[in-house]
Amino acid sequence: MVKRIDRYIIKKFLSTFFFMLGLIMLFSVVFDISEKLSEFISNKAPLHEIFFSYYVTFILHYGNTFSSMIIFLSVIWFTGKMAQNTEIVPIWFSGRPVSRFLRPYFIGASILTVLSLVLNHLIIPRTNKIRLAFEERYYRDVLTVNNYQAEYPGNELVYFSNYSAQENKINDLTIQKWNKDDEPIYFLRARFAKNKPGTNQWELTDYYEKDYTFPKSILIHGSSKDTSFKYRIEEMAQRDNAAQALTFDELRNAIKREKLKGSKLVPEFEIELHQRTAFPFATYILTIIGVSVASQKKRGGQGMNIAIGLAFIFVYIFAMKMLTVAAIKVGFPSLIAVWLPNAIFALVAVIYYRTSQK
């Protein structure tokens, strides 16, 4: 049963979090506008698209991404204020277990964790598609890919020298296929190739084609040809943050597809998938640490609490980034790379909670 003290702490928890979230996002939007305003003006971005297609989705994405950190600072802030006002001492000396004091914190953390999980898996990937499409049109440089090479299922190697999204054209497309005995069975080279958007249909220009099966070893040259391949340009030319716009099912399918190709994008996609669950659950860990740090009076007051909190956040982000780089660059397992910081800080949370003043 939720008591009055529970409602009091939950109200402080949620109100402080949303206040800090709004304040931080306000500053983030102001700094982002100052950086990108000239690009928006030069590219004639409509005002309603800037607001609805970009900044609404911008706030959703970055607000949810850093929500666990903001929750941590919120817990430290309002718990420290309660400690300074001697509101916590009567709760500790009420005769109930000290763990009872954590119940409203966990209720508040659970509300925000569930909200973050829903946003991460259901809503934000769809809004990110809108945000990234806006950036592609009005802010980012034209997408280009150089020296693409991938091996597709069926011993099929695909290479092209460069691609420009502005022209939607591939230069020097080369396709080679081998049988199980590593004998060549097909070769194609086209000076230019275009993929019809949203389809597997391709238009080749100035191409050479050789089928080693039948008729044997006859080289065909043509000025143009319409054909179909098992891949699309959207899969071959992607920005680094493309995974942010994929829903849960799309991301899992993309991981399976990229694994078959032996793509270097697999760790990045796997990290994105695991982070959508790991980051929300970090809320519980950071809440316990925040309560343990701020639930006692300190000579330095709130400034000392905030300094300790920022130190924890710095170490957490550093550990997360270091393990992410290890997963992408040296093949460290993505699942471990994402969840290990949570495991380490869970241990820290237990130690802090047991040693904090009761």
Please write the tens of the pLDDT for every residue from 156-198.
888 888 888 877 888 999 988 888 877 888 888 999 999 888 7
In the chain, the N- to C-terminal Cα span, in Å, equals 24
Judged against a pLDDT cut of 70, whether residue 255 lies above it is answered with yes
**For position 49, what pLDDT does the model report?**
92
Q: For 213, phi and psi rounded to 5 degrees?
A: -90, -60
Alpha carbons 96 and 114: distance in angstroms, whole number: 28
Across residues 279-290, what is the average pLDDT?
Answer: 90
Share of the chain above pLDDT 70, in %: 92
Per the CB < 8 A criterion, the answer to whether 229 and 200 are in contact is yes
Which has the higher per-residue pLDDT, 93 or 41? 41
Alpha carbons 58 and 138: distance in angstroms, whole number: 15
Across residues 31-44, what is the average pLDDT?
Answer: 89
Residue 23 in tokens: 């304040």
Across residues 85-111, what is the average pLDDT?
Answer: 77
Judged against a pLDDT cut of 80, whether residue 355 lies above it is answered with no
Q: What is the enclosing helix (H) or strand (E) of 164?
A: strand 156-164
Query: Would you place residue 302 in the very low, low, confident or very high pLDDT band (cuts 50, 70, 90)?
Result: low
Can you tell me whether residue 188 is helix, strand or coil?
A: strand
**For position 343, what pLDDT does the model report?**
92
Per the CB < 8 A criterion, the answer to whether 297 and 83 are in contact is yes
Q: Give the strands of the sheet with 201-211, arranged side by side.
A: 144-152, 156-164, 169-178, 184-195, 201-211, 218-228
**For position 264, what pLDDT does the model report?**
76
Judged against a pLDDT cut of 90, whether residue 24 lies above it is answered with yes
* AA identity, residue 25: M
* AA identity, residue 341: P
Determine the angle formed by the axes of helices 266-294 and 301-329, rounding to 10 degrees.
160
Proportion of the chain in helix, strand, coil states, percent, rounded to 5: 60, 15, 20
Long-range contacts at 318-322 (CB < 8 A, ≥ 24 apart):
319/344
Alpha carbons 202 and 219: distance in angstroms, whole number: 20
Judged against a pLDDT cut of 60, whether residue 358 lies above it is answered with no
Judged against a pLDDT cut of 60, whether residue 261 lies above it is answered with yes
In the block, tokens 């290479």 appear at: 159
Query: Would you place residue 214 in the very low, low, confident or very high pLDDT band (cuts 50, 70, 90)?
Result: low
**For position 1, what pLDDT does the model report?**
67
To the question of pTM greater than 0.75 for the whole model, the response is: yes
Residue 151 in tokens: 């091996």
Non-local CB neighbours of 17 within 8 Å, separated by 6+ positions: 70, 71, 74, 108, 112
